[in-house]
Amino acid sequence: MSNQKPRVVVLGAGYAGMMTTKKLTKLLRPEQAEIVLVNKHNYHYQTTWLHQVAAGTINQNQVRMMISDVIDTKHRVNLIQDSVLEIKKDEKTVVLENGELQYDILVVGLGFESATFGISGMKENAFAIQTIDSSRLIYDHIEYQFSRYKNEEGNKEELLTILVGGSGFTGIEFVGELTESVKKLCRKYDIPRYKARIINVEAAPSILPGFDEELVTYAKSSLEARGVEFRTGTMIKECKEDGFVVGEGEEIKAGTVVWTGGVQANSILGESGFEITKGRVTVNNDLRAPGYRDIFILGDCAWVMDKENDRPYPPNAQNAMQQADTAAQNIASLIYGGPMQEYKFENKGTVASLGGSEAIGTVFDRQLFGKPAKTMKNVVDNRYLFMLGGPGLVLKKGKLSLF
């Protein structure tokens, strides 16, 4: 690096961006580097809680926190509230909606966009769980349909059907939360519970890929017992305003259609000339973009290969937070001079909520079901809050039930 104080620019205040920024403030003294965090909003939100906002089982304010509450934006980090339009790699410049920003070292953590895999009409007609606003819109729409059914004459029961595409992690957690909110909406609008349907459609033969068969069986049985209908092995051919066309032309009608079937890196990366493979940039094992010693790509934007198993590490929040630690250490090495660390993901387990007090998971090779799994899910969620903002943030925003 030059003798001039280097500028480290972090794009995006998601899990990877927030934790990288937080760690950089501990590794680098103010006179050693300028740290700039660019984010569209002045708040950070828990993307892994958005399915609850979409189902109406958590207040949106619990999901988000002011960045200035957990990062020193007065003395250590320059927070720029703006939207990223383009990354000019060879000019070491980020084009923002309201100007341009030069960098010496760049960290890209711009998060995900919904991936529709070319399914006709999906992008135009289905809701997606992407942001606080888009998630809140889903619940508002669901309740509006219940209200319409109750207060307008001649409406069909299809208005009360919620159709969810995708049986991965987000899709299953979402339908689990829906079992709770639909029950409350039926009481609120005096509608018999059996009239409201939650239908989950999945092309694969089973739900929750990557989970052990015993856990999948438990999850499916638990959700079916609470009213979720599964259509596995069912290919979605088209999405219309009022439902899916599946298989050989069968139509499944619904008042609310939500797509959770996949995500990909923010489109800005592809538009900025980064090579995209299956929706993400495949980075080097030190988390840098191939061919660029000064650009790190993290979180949902990146594939990091697991050399031992010859496949990418899972693009989840746990992975993003661990990447932040390695990225911050390597940025410090670039500035100080020193060896670069290779990233290795340490899988501490995965827990999926199924709504209410139900959950499943594997933690340190031990399977968990029901309330013990739900308690562990809360522990995992609260641990991130503790890492980011200490016990005060846990008390303010944490999930403290079932303890």
Catalytic residues: 173
Name the nearest CA neighbour of 359 among 186, 126, 180.
180
Burial class (CB in 10 A: 0-12, 13-18, 19+), 268: buried
Residues 6+ apart with CB under 8 A from 123: 114, 116
Q: Are 369 and 360 in contact (CB under 8 A)?
A: yes
Q: And the tokens for 129?
A: 């769980």
Alpha carbon distance 124, 335 (integer Å): 46
Number of H helices, E strands in the chain: 11, 27
How much helix, strand and coil, in percent to the nearest 5, is found in the chain? 40, 25, 35
- Dihedral angle at the C-alpha atoms of 395, 323, 264, 78, nearest 10 degrees? 70
Residue 237: count other Cβ atoms within 10 Å of its Cβ.
Answer: 15
User: What sign results for the dihedral spanned by CA atoms 144, 146, 152, 153?
Assistant: positive
Q: What are 342's two structure tokens?
A: 């290779």
Answer yes or no: are the C-beta atoms of 208 and 169 closer than 8 Å.
yes
